[in-house]
Structure 1
Amino acid sequence: MPTESGMEDKPYDVNFCFPVRDLENGRVKLTPLVPSIHADLLFQGCADHPELFQYLPFGPYGSASDFTEGLIEGRIHPSPSMVLYAIIDKTRCPDTTLTSLPHAPSRVNFAGMIGYLNTCPINLKTEIGFIMVFPPFQRTHVATNAVGLLLQYALDPPSSSDNVRSHGLGLRRVQWQTNELNTQSIRTAERMGFKFEGILRWDRVLPSGKGKLGNGVQLRADDPKPGMVGRHTVILSICWDDWENGGREEALRIMARQY
């Protein structure tokens, strides 16, 4: 795979427990995230918007290499339960003067990242997360189409003969977890058919000093991690029977909306 310097790299091993391929429709393309191609774009996209990390249990990062080492190589790549995708907005033409790579995204059409985590082939389930959509692409078709493409791949049956359907993984459950305060994330999930299941209280200890929004509850005086706020986590899910009983059609309708 070409790198930014024009040299050839070995193909990047995403180490996911299921087959990984490009997922796309007429508006959005999800392609497996490769650090040599996408890390700089991710860092550039969020450098001026540290608020993108306020609800996330990771970041922000000081450089593209910190992002690669801390998140991709430090957390994602070692685990076969996780994979990241780069989000490309196909409705915007890339600026070819900003990249030396043929067919590579640029800041014009590179919209952020999304991924699967907590994936379990034994129990036929996964979770959609690591969602980061840059401000110029928010409140557009990007987030709903990115989520919809991951839902289709996860929940569509692998044996489908319907030409309209892409061959999926046939999983039974897709989960969504988010900070209780992140109302936009909750609305996106519910709009795409996820059902509220409950709140996990004090579910996460968030990094200190990085603008993280916790649950607003003051810690006790002898807490082992003073200064690191706690997070209440909302958990939602959409399951195969939701998907088969109208969920898929509703998701496609939302994905096709004009903004």
Structure 2
Amino acid sequence: MSPAFVNNFTPPPATVYPDPDSVLASKEPYDINFSFPLHFDTLACPTVRLTPFVPTLHARTLWEHVGPRARELFRYYPYCPDTLAHFLSVVENIRRHPDNCAFAIFDRTRRPDGPGGDSPADSEDGTLAGVMALINTSKQHKNTEIGLVVVFPAFQGTHVARTALGLLLRYCLQPAAASPPGLGFRRVRWSAHPHNKASIKLAKRMCFQEEGVMRWTFCIPNVEEMKREAHGVKREGEDGWGRDSVCLAICWDEWDRSAGYGVERLLQQPSGQ
């Protein structure tokens, strides 16, 4: 008697990182592969604007700022890109899912002829300051998560992170019929390492509600910077260390009731406040 099922699974090929020179030399328009409309008015305010991350425009400058401190900046992540090629593979994994999108963050208070404004990725409307993405999005259930949050060291402690987050929240949670329009999502998630107090503080300032701790959600790389931040317990015979996640979220009813007004006020503040 023949079996009722077979298992023809074969392991996927090992990850091959793209050649940065080939990616960054491309003359073809970059396909962001995004299934949602882009509302650029919603994604901008007087001090910050967001635009889809395009490797040929943004990747080299980003890595100049991030690369030397990658192990520090990614110490809470389940990956630690140690080369530009590795970082480009992270962006490509986001791009492949049509409901996700990575955004470049531009600080509009720093012009190309001002401090820090001399890089090739700068435009006439601000200076590249970091990256932030929509990940793990469910179009059916109208929810998403904000991840790949990396702000250049020179811009940390400024208005950039909170304003960029506020813009993404407005873009996600505003109804489509609102002015400016949004995507009408019901829920936006935020996940943080329990030791990452700055991340949790930022989320709460932007009206996210803490919902609990999910235990052992990630395996983080076996590098010293991350080992010190982990539980200090490693399963015998396994590489890497475990990570819990503090889970926070903001939902459409909270946005409509009061959070949206608070975020809008923040978006209109001068950069120094």
Range into which the TM-score falls when normalised by the shorter chain: 0.7 to 0.9
Count of residue pairs brought into register by the alignment: 244
- Map 1:180-191; keep pairs closer than 5 Å: 180-191=194-205
Aligned to 2:44: 24
- Map 1:1-259; keep pairs closer than 5 Å: 9-22=27-40, 23-50=43-70, 51-62=72-83, 64-68=84-88, 70-73=89-92, 75-95=93-113, 98-99=119-120, 103=123, 109-160=127-178, 165-209=179-223, 211-213=225-227, 214-220=229-235, 222-223=236-237, 225-226=238-239, 228-255=240-267, 256=269, 258-259=272-273
Aligned residues: CA RMSD: 2.6
The one-letter code of the counterpart of 1:128 is I
1:93-144 deviation per Cα after TM superposition (whole angstroms, max 9, x unaligned): 1147643x78378xx8211100101111100111111100111111111011
Supply the distance in 1 between the matched residues of 2:150 and 2:199 (Cα, whole angstroms).
Answer: 11
CA 1:104/1:15 → structure 2, altered by over 3 Å: closer, same or farther?
farther
Supply the distance in 1 between the matched residues of 2:196 and 2:82 (Cα, whole angstroms).
Answer: 21
TM score, norm. by length of structure 2: 0.81
Supply the distance in 1 between the matched residues of 2:55 and 2:39 (Cα, whole angstroms).
Answer: 16
The answer to whether the Cα contact below 8 Å between 1:192 and 1:254 also exists between their aligned partners in 2 is: no
Supply the distance in 2 between the matched residues of 1:81 and 1:198 (Cα, whole angstroms).
Answer: 26
The one-letter code of the counterpart of 1:24 is A
Q: Which has more radius of gyration?
A: 2
| Identity across matched positions, percent | 37
CA 1:125/1:29 → structure 2, altered by over 3 Å: closer, same or farther?
same
Structure 1's unaligned 5+ residue stretches are none
Q: Tell me, what secondary structure is at the counterpart of 2:226?
A: coil
Supply the distance in 2 between the matched residues of 1:104 and 1:42 (Cα, whole angstroms).
Answer: 18
1:205-252 deviation per Cα after TM superposition (whole angstroms, max 9, x unaligned): 0112262254323124x34x23x1110001100000000111011112
